[in-house]
Amino acid sequence: MENSSSKSSGSENPSMEISFQRLSPSAAESQAKLSCPTSEGDDPPEPAGYSSSPSSLSDSVSVIHPLPPVKGGDVIAFKMDDIDAMFSDLLGEMDLLTQSLGVDTAPPESQSSSNTEINFSIGFTDFNESLNELEDNDLDALMADLMADISATEEKLALGDSSRPDPLPEPMGLPPPPSLPQDYGLPTSPGNTSGPRALAPSQAALPIPPAPASQPPAPPQACESLLPEEVEAQAKADKIKLALEKLKEAKVKKLVIKVVMNDGSSKTLMVDERQTVRDVLDNLFEKTHCDCGVDWCLYETNPELQIERGFEDHENLVEPLSAWTRDSENQILFLKRIDKYAIFKNPQNFYLWKRDTKSLKDMKEKDKEMLLEENFCGSSIIVPDMEGPLYLKEDGKRAWKQRYFLLRASGIYYVPKGKSKTSRDLACFVQFDNVNVYYGKEYKHKYKAPSEFCFVLKHPQIQKESQYIKYLSCEDNWTMTLWVTGIRIAKYGMMLYDNYKEAMKKAAVSSLWSNRTITNSSTPPTPSKASSQPNGHAPQPPVQMPTAATASSEAWAETKGHGNTSSLPPLPPSEDFLPPPPPDPVMPLPPPPPDSVLPPPP
């Protein structure tokens, strides 16, 4: 379809190119690379093979799946090339609009490059549709982001590489994102069409595409004694190198994700495969002006399996999202989870869980630190000595079977029938290399589980019911928290502690800022304070975070101490883990339908 749209009138090509440059530096680079005269000799056959080979095609098909509008899909996944295609599409549309307004368009310039573009976009017919799905404020935000990215890069470039003969387009002077049709209330300024024409030649003449922000400066200039030819050769080599790096950069996979906030609203942002969850969280902190506490978490839900889990801060977000299926109803939530770093705030609850509640509650800070030091700062990470009876449902069977399980650094084990729980007798139940741990929701109803406190172990790529998923049911919520946290420690080890320290740093900085207005100069010494203190006082963000999130966190800590009839510290029902936003905390509202739906372009 993109194919037809770009072929229908070659006139889009210039505007297409310019849009790339404005919208994403890497796209522009790949584009420029293709038309780059210096590198034409060694132009790798890669792009063509990349798109035509069945392997990569089917590969990308599995990744690229705009979601049907009804389901309120949250991830529009595509590689950089696809985003190019998407924008080119929109541009095409806009061109049609401008044409109809009687504005003349520039003649086609680089047919070859557009051809390769077309190849990339085969198979993604409903991009516009899905893009249209986004609310216009999402789109605005997304575009603003992209623009900011580019302008940052280009500013850097303008500063760093002043020797460039051709002046770069001034990004700030550019009109608003061209992909926004007029329906969205943004006027298409005449500059929109004049821009491309003015810039197209400079683009073509530009031998080197703009360097990305991370690009180190060109090699040292210590070659004054060199002959001119050598200098030239050197320059050429550098250019080739640069161009290749651009190409590599262009291969970076990117996703546009929709993150559902506490209040049911959502934010759309772009993540690339190099970004960690921490980066994305920081990004969201900036956008929401929330308190930046350590408990904020990106949370994955899978309604089909009724499971959910918090992403760890060090994970790359794109990878797990790539495993989502085309028709997935999965969501990413941005919320506070007390259990995310509870282990570091109250390590005694996990490492000394066998003790009575009272002694744990009175634990001194010093002793907590000591516990952390013992278990996380030695040459080896010590995993909490979790053990106890759990109900297991596995291998696709319906029945839940009770077994005695033990957690070790090397995996979860169970005591086989008639055996003792000495190490040598244990049978391995699962090792953690290839599985993640999830909370199971409402399994009493779904799978007739003995309790609602279930956790699930499965390969992250499994998205539907399968015999390879292992379901475990615990006696109570606290036991479940212990197990899930223990498994996370066994799986991630030191990484978890590093994540926490990083999050603490963030929280401390932001609380310092928010404390400036309040008369409280001391940085919070304890994590729990750091996370809860600033919340109430933080400048109220445009998207408001219900402060109930913190309230519930305290409630959680409180109830843990109270202790009722059972010897294990009781926990409030699982709902309390999630801040109680309207209407359903687990599955916030799907995004409201878009105000105006544009028909997909021909």
Query: Where do contacts with other proteins occur on this chain (CB under 8 A)?
Result: 42, 44-46, 49, 53-56, 58-59, 237, 240-241, 244-245, 247-248, 251, 323, 325, 354, 359, 367, 370, 374, 378-383, 385, 408-411, 413, 420, 422-424, 426, 428, 431, 433-434, 459-464, 466-469
- Is residue 18 within a helix (H) or strand (E), and if so which, with residue range? helix 12-23
Q: What is the smallest separation between the CB atom of 59 and other proteins, expressed in angstroms? A: 7
**Which residue's CB is nearer to other proteins, number 382 or number 495?**
382
CB 85 within 8 A of CB 127: yes
Residue 534 in tokens: 């600033």
76 - beta bridge partners? 256
Report the sign of the C-alpha dihedral through residues 120, 126, 132, 138, in that order: negative
State the virtual CA torsion across 365, 369, 372, 376 in degrees, nearest 10: 160
> Cβ neighbours of residue 542 under 8 Å, at least 6 residues apart?
288, 289
Residue 475 in tokens: 């006696």
Cα angle 55, 61, 66 (rounded to 5 degrees) comes to 170
297 - beta bridge partners? 335
What distance in Å separates the CA atoms of residue 269 and residue 166, rounded to the nearest whole number?
Answer: 32
What distance in Å separates the CA atoms of residue 307 and residue 304, rounded to the nearest whole number?
Answer: 8
DSSP state of 359: H
Q: What is the smallest separation between the CB atom of 375 and other proteins, expressed in angstroms? A: 9
Q: What is the smallest separation between the CB atom of 234 and other proteins, expressed in angstroms? A: 11
**Which residue's CB is nearer to other proteins, number 196 or number 486?**
486
Bridge-based pairing of strands 427-430 and 436-440 is unpaired
Radius of gyration of the chain (CA): 27
> Cβ neighbours of residue 121 under 8 Å, at least 6 residues apart?
2, 3, 81, 82, 84, 85, 86, 88, 89, 127
User: Position 229: which residue type?
Assistant: E
Q: What is the smallest separation between the CB atom of 160 and other proteins, expressed in angstroms? A: 20
What distance in Å separates the CA atoms of residue 270 and residue 117, rounded to the nearest whole number?
Answer: 21
What distance in Å separates the CA atoms of residue 571 and residue 484, rounded to the nearest whole number?
Answer: 15
What distance in Å separates the CA atoms of residue 311 and residue 461, rounded to the nearest whole number?
Answer: 14
> For residue 83, what are the CA distances in angstroms to 86, 131, 182?
5, 11, 21
Q: What is the smallest separation between the CB atom of 263 and other proteins, expressed in angstroms? A: 31
What distance in Å separates the CA atoms of residue 28 and residue 286, rounded to the nearest whole number?
Answer: 27
Taking alpha carbons only, the member of 291, 285, 294 closest to residue 504 is 294
> Cβ neighbours of residue 220 under 8 Å, at least 6 residues apart?
none
Q: What is the smallest separation between the CB atom of 240 and other proteins, expressed in angstroms? A: 6
DSSP 497-519: HHHHHHHHHHHHHHHHHHHHHTT
Q: What is the smallest separation between the CB atom of 455 and other proteins, expressed in angstroms? A: 19
Taking alpha carbons only, the member of 304, 246, 248, 313 closest to residue 284 is 313
Q: What is the smallest separation between the CB atom of 231 and other proteins, expressed in angstroms? A: 16
Q: What is the smallest separation between the CB atom of 8 and other proteins, expressed in angstroms? A: 30
Nearest 5°: phi and psi at 592? -60, 150
**Which residue's CB is nearer to other proteins, number 324 or number 577?**
324
Half-sphere exposure at residue 333, Cβ-oriented, CA atoms within 13 angstroms: 27
What distance in Å separates the CA atoms of residue 116 and residue 81, rounded to the nearest whole number?
Answer: 10
Q: What is the smallest separation between the CB atom of 402 and other proteins, expressed in angstroms? A: 20
What distance in Å separates the CA atoms of residue 97 and residue 519, rounded to the nearest whole number?
Answer: 57
Report the sign of the C-alpha dihedral through residues 230, 231, 232, 236, in that order: positive
SS (H, E, C) 418-455: CCCCCHHHCEEEECCCCCEEEEECCHHHHHCCCCCCEE
Q: What is the smallest separation between the CB atom of 340 and other proteins, expressed in angstroms? A: 23
